[in-house]
Amino acid sequence: MSEETRILGIETSCDETAASVVENGRQIISNVVASQAALHAQYGGVFPEVASRRHIETIYPVVATALAQAHVGMQAIDAIAVTRGPGLAGSLVVGVNMAKGMALASGVPLLGINHLEAHLYSTWLQQDMAEPVFPLLGLVVSGGHTELVLMKEHLTYARLGGTLDDAAGEAFDKIARLLGLGYPGGPAIQVAAEGGDPQAFPFPRAWLDETWDFSFSGLKTAVLRQVRRHQPDLEAGVEVPRPGLPIADLAASFEAAVVDVLVGKTMKAAQEYQAHEILVAGGVSANRLLRQTFIEKSPIAVRFPPLALCTDNAAMIAAVGHQRYLSGQRDALDIDVLPTWPLAE
Ligand code: KG4
Ligand code: ZN
């Protein structure tokens, strides 16, 4: 079989409606992302019913635009790759139904794709990127997940660990809300931390040494305690600017604590499993301090997605679609969504 493919990717697992055409798993021909972030900012997080309703409104124009910008019709597409999970059930359904309808009408094969796997494959969406050298270690740090996996070859994962409570991105979002910095929290914390002292507050690091798991709840409580110390009258859940708080120092100290643990544990696992390279993907992989620290400390290559592809997009769904199409995957037109689908058992 020829290794050349042209895949249409569709993504609606959370608050981005996205479609993309990718050739050979690497070359992005079109990449359309309609973000709902502004819509959800008023709630301080993603509001599921609002998200699915917006996906319904935007999915047709987004997919049509991705095909139009790629100057292709469905007859030039080898497969439709769509996010099947994990994610919000009501949002996933919109993308999967769209993909099923198109597959039925065009006869083009349908491929259900795991969103976390797609985040890992976003690192290879760069034309100059070398082929992966296995085994490699993958860290997915997104709004919903923190997952550490060992990848022995393409499409093959052994789960080492993950978060026991909040995902890394979720921790960023919650602390940003606590500091009155708005949603999404990751970029807001990164900006607020500029000029702050990362050692101002010695926040706890949960090393959980006997495992490859992560926990950010103790850190979250420690930040809350500091905020309360400065603002004893703080009401839980109230999202207002907080005059008098040392925002830059709090943000920098929080960010440093998250980065320390993510980098420390990933590098330790890489050494233990003799990984040849490390992939770091998902929304939090856009974080500047995280990137810098990995690059400074790691003796082996660390690969990140291009900044624009760290957060949710459909190019990464099409990138996995390429590998899965070549591996022979073809899904039936009655597949269901899998809101809690793990990357590996
Ligand atoms: O991968 P993603 O777009 O969505 C999920 O699959 O969950 O990740 C979104 C998460 C949000 O929690 C957001 O705050 C975080 O990624 N994020 C960041 C940065 N940019 C986005 N976290 C830290 N630093 C950033 N620069
Ligand atoms: Zn994601």
Q: Encode pLDDT of 23-49 as tens digits.
A: 999 999 999 999 888 888 777 778 888
Maximum C-alpha span of the chain = 67
**Each residue of 289-322: pLDDT tens digit?**
999 999 999 999 999 999 999 999 999 999 999 9
* Cα dist from 114 to 38, 84, 245, whole Å: 26, 6, 41
247: containing domain:
136-304
What is the helix (H) or strand (E) element at residue 319, kind and residue range?
helix 315-326
How is the chain split among helix, strand and coil, in percent rounded to 5? Answer: 45, 20, 40
User: What distance in angstroms lies between residue 117's CA and the mean position of ligand 2's atoms?
Assistant: 10
- Asked if residue 273 and residue 152 are part of one domain, the reply reads yes
Under 8 Å between Cβ of 44 and 177: yes
The verdict on residue 106 lying in a domain is yes
Residue 339, domain member (yes or no): no
Q: Is the CB of 142 under 6 A from ligand 1?
A: yes
Domain match, 143 and 288 both = yes
**Domain-embedded: residue 243:** yes
Shared-domain flag, residues 182 and 104: no
Q: Which of 289, 222, 281 is nearest to 256 (CA)?
A: 289
Ligand nearest to the CA of 282: 1
Structural tokens at position 177: 């809300």
Do residues 117 and 140 lie in contact, with contact meaning Cβ atoms separated by under 8 Å? no
Please check whether residues 12 and 122 belong to one and the same domain: yes
Q: Are residues 95 and 209 in the same domain?
A: no
- Looking at the fold, whether 248 and 168 belong to one and the same domain comes out as yes
Cβ(30) to ligand 1 under 6 A? no
In this structure, are residues 89 and 83 in contact, taking their beta carbons and an 8 Å threshold?
Answer: no
Alpha carbon of 86 to those of 133, 176, 240: distances in Å?
27, 24, 32
Average pLDDT over residues 128-153: 94
Q: Whose CA is nearest to atom 8 of ligand 1?
A: 283
Protein residues with C-beta less than 5 angstroms from the ion ligand 2: 142, 312
Residue 246 Cβ < 6 Å to ligand 1: no
SS3 (DSSP) at 151: strand
The rounded distance, in Å, linking the Cα atoms of 13 and 85 is 7
d(CA 84, CA 65): 22
Residue 37 lies inside a defined structural domain of this protein: yes
Question: How far apart are the C-alpha atoms of 323 and 25, rounded to whole Å?
Answer: 7
pLDDT of residue 39: 83
Overall domain count for the chain = 2
Per-residue confidence band for 239, with pLDDT thresholds at 50, 70 and 90: low
Query: Does ligand 1 lie within 6 Å of residue 185's CB atom?
Result: yes
337 falls within a domain = no
Mutate to test the pocket of ligand 1, among 33, 141, 142 (most ligand atoms within 8 A of CB): 142
**Domain match, 171 and 212 both:** yes
CATH number at residue 220: 3.30.420.40
Same domain for 87 and 203: no
Looking at the structure, do residues 176 and 256 belong to the same domain, yes or no? Answer: yes
Average the pLDDT over 236-249 and give the result.
74
Question: Does any domain span residue 117?
Answer: yes
- For residues 100 and 54, membership in a common domain is answered with yes
| Residue 158 within a domain | yes
pLDDT score, position 249: 97
Give me the mean pLDDT over the 242-261 stretch: 93
Q: What is the pLDDT of residue 238?
A: 54
Are both 114 and 198 inside the same structural domain? no
The pairing of beta strand 277-281 with beta strand 156-162: unpaired
Q: Do 104 and 186 lie in a common domain?
A: no
Residue 179 covered by a domain = yes
